[in-house]
């Protein structure tokens, strides 16, 4: 199915661009800087392109698995992923502030809102979609990989928020503002990688007859 291949290519493009930016912008310490900060300054267009690729990959995957998303859970999962795709496009349109910049601004507020939609709800949307896919005779045989990769996505999100909670406990002010003492950068990247892995696994399974 073409849409499944498109989804895989686009999410791999997202990951490739993200990896390249670590070398192109070494001044952004990945141990505590969020990936959204790559939108700031030089090569910012690459991070925006990366978000667009990720959003398009979610849309393509939704199309690929659409026939297998059955019952009420399938409908919910389908529209939920459309919302996530829109949020990813929004993350590319609206530029984030640096993690240390607390200056209020509409673009940063909208970027944060879009980011929270993706970060907080992707594992839940994946769970709803997998539940529906397990009800489909076409995908029921693949429930092992579906459950495993969904569990990994949950671990990614928990790891990210665990890093924030840990920083808040060790240093309340640092945990609130963010900075070099809040090591949320790698957990942020790990979480994103688990979400991308879920897309790849589901798209590959969608290619099975």
| Domain positions in the chain | 2-206
pLDDT tens-digit readout, 58-87: 999 999 998 888 888 889 999 999 999 999
pLDDT tens-digit readout, 128-167: 999 888 877 655 557 888 999 999 999 999 999 998 887 7
Mean pLDDT across the chain, nearest whole number? 90
pLDDT at 175 over 50: no
Question: What is the arithmetic mean of pLDDT over 169-191?
Answer: 74
Q: What is the pLDDT of residue 179?
A: 66
pLDDT tens-digit readout, 1-38: 799 999 999 999 999 999 999 999 999 999 989 999 99
Instruction: Give the span between the Cα atoms of 98 and 122, in whole angstroms.
Output: 24
Task: Write the DSSP assignment of 32-82 as a string of letters.
Answer: T--GGGGGSSTTHHHHHHHHHHHHHHHHHHHHHHGGG--HHHHHHHHHHHH
Q: Where are the beta strands (DSSP E) in the chain?
A: none
Q: How far is CA 9 from the centre of its chain?
A: 16
pLDDT at 174 over 70: no
pLDDT tens-digit readout, 87-116: 999 999 999 998 887 788 899 999 999 999
Segment (H or E) for 205? helix 185-206
Q: What is the pLDDT of residue 140?
A: 57
Of all residues in the chain, the percent with pLDDT exceeding 90 is: 68
pLDDT at 172 over 50: yes
Question: What is the arithmetic mean of pLDDT over 39-56?
Answer: 96
Residue-level length of the chain: 209
Q: What is the pLDDT of residue 3?
A: 94
């Amino acid at each position: 199915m073409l849409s499944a291949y498109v989804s895989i290519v686009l999410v791999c493009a997202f990951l490739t661009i993200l990896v390249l930016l670590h070398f192109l912008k070494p001044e952004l310490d990945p141990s505590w800087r969020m990936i959204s900060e790559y939108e700031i300054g030089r090569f910012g267009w690459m991070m925006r392109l990366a978000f667009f690729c990720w959003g398009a990959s979610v849309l393509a995957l939704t199309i690929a698995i659409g026939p297998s998303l059955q019952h009420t859970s399938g409908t919910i999962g389908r529209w939920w992923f459309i919302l996530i795709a829109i949020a990813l496009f929004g993350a590319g349109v609206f530029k984030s502030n640096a993690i240390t910049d607390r200056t209020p601004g509409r673009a940063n507020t909208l970027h944060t809102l879009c980011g929270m939609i993706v970060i907080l709800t992707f594992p839940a949307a994946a769970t709803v979609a997998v539940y529906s896919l397990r009800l489909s005779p076409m995908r029921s045989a693949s429930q092992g990989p579906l459950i495993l990769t969904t569990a990994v996505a949950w671990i990614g999100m928990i790891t990210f928020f665990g890093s924030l909670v840990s920083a808040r406990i060790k240093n309340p002010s640092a945990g609130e503002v963010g900075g070099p003492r809040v090591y949320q950068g790698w957990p942020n990247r790990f979480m994103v990688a688990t979400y991308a892995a879920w897309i790849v696994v589901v798209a590959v399974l969608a290619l099975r007859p």
